[in-house]
Amino acid sequence: MATVVTFGEIMGRMSTEGHYTLRQSLPGNLAFCFAGAEANVAASIALLGGSSRFITALPRNDISDACIGNLRNLGVDTSHILMKDEGRLGLYFVQDGANQRPSKVIYDRAGSTLSITDGSEYDWDAAFEGADVLHVSGITPAVSRKAAEAQLMCMKKAREHGLLISFDCNFRSKLWSWDPSVPKEELAGRVVREMMEYVDILFAARIDAETLLGIHLDCPAELSRIDEQPYVAEAIARKYPSVKLLATTMRKSISATYNQWGAALYDISNGDQYVSPCIDGRYVPYDITSIVDRIGAGDSFAAGILYAYLDSGLSRDMQTVLDFATASSCLCHSIEQDINYVTREDVLALMASGGHGTVSR
């Protein structure tokens, strides 16, 4: 069984009840869970039945023990998590949107243990032993200079061990403040471009290519995500020849609680594009009319791609890989909290249903 290693920061997520705002909820109760992009991917792969390993740095206390126990109970290998006496668990706060009021996220991550940990403190050689893929994102290097340097070291070590490297651009405008002398987008671009030479599987859209990757696209601005993806992929391939696959999610927000959802996958090696959901050769997005929680959908999509591409018992056909990932991430919108608590069987049932949830009896 192929093993996916992920590296990044896991945090405590504090959420309001229902659709309350934070000002309505505080003082009062907030729901608490553990979450973070890379941990979400590792957990989702484990829940689907795959093998995953998570690397991070956490403060040595009871809360971190609970965090590790939570991941371990989901099937994630936590044996390479670094425990330290310095730092704290990062936090973020969420208030869910409704109708025309969007959801809102507030980060509280300064001084977290991962943000102050040097890359040399991790045992990368042990963490990558027997592994096949490393998955990282553009979120962790936004936390601090040390976190960015650690992730670059992580990617270099993974390449030395012969792992495929998967990267989700995930630009977060509220982060990237560790060098105030440089505008956030410029800082993010500098850091991400240095990492791109190691990337095999890329999760990105046109905005990422133009904002982070230093690519100017010579194509009409009004193209759909589907039609612009080949331009993006070919431009990325010219500048970053290691990239083999480009995956792009396609969200259309009708309101905070009603979205249409789909994805496209471009195989750079042969120029083939795949779109999902696809009915009779036509793109027909999932109609998600009552979103429970959309945070983590992109992570569940990345997990679905990696799981189906590597070793799921499914056909290795790229259309099947994309269909599986898109269905998995569609289901994530029905799950409270970041982690996608669905199984392989749940995803296959949605794929077989034509896009409609039915009662399982």
Task: Look at 190-199, 285-294, 350-359 and tell me which has the smallest mean pLDDT.
Answer: 350-359
Give dist(CA 222, CA 114) in Å, integer: 40
pLDDT value, residue 358:
47
Q: Is residue 356 part of a domain?
A: no
Is residue 357 situated within a structural domain?
no
Residue 361 forms part of a structural domain: no
Q: Tell me if 146 is assigned to some domain.
A: yes
User: Quick check: is 358 in a domain?
Assistant: no
8 A C-beta contact, residue 330 and residue 282? no
Lowest pLDDT segment from 155-169, 192-206, 279-293, 303-317: 303-317
pLDDT of 173 > 90? The answer is no
Predicted confidence band of residue 315 (pLDDT cuts 50, 70, 90): low
**Bridge partners, 94 (sequence order):** 15, 105
Q: Domain of 219?
A: 3-351
What is the CATH number for 107?
A: 3.40.1190.20
When the pLDDT of each residue in the chain is averaged and rounded to a whole number, the result is 92
Please report how the helices 145-160 and 184-195 are oriented relative to each other, as an axis angle in degrees rounded to 10: 20
Is residue 126 pLDDT above 80, yes or no?
A: yes
Within-domain flag for 360 = no
Q: Is residue 359 part of a domain?
A: no
Pair of tokens at residue 326: 């898109």
Cα separation, 347 vs 361, in Å, equals 16
pLDDT of residue 355: 61
Q: Which pLDDT value is given to residue 312?
A: 57
What predicted TM-score, i.e. pTM, was given to this entire model? 0.94
Enter the tokens of residue 40: 């979400």
Q: How far apart are the first and last CA of the chain?
A: 31
Number of structural domains (the chain) is 1
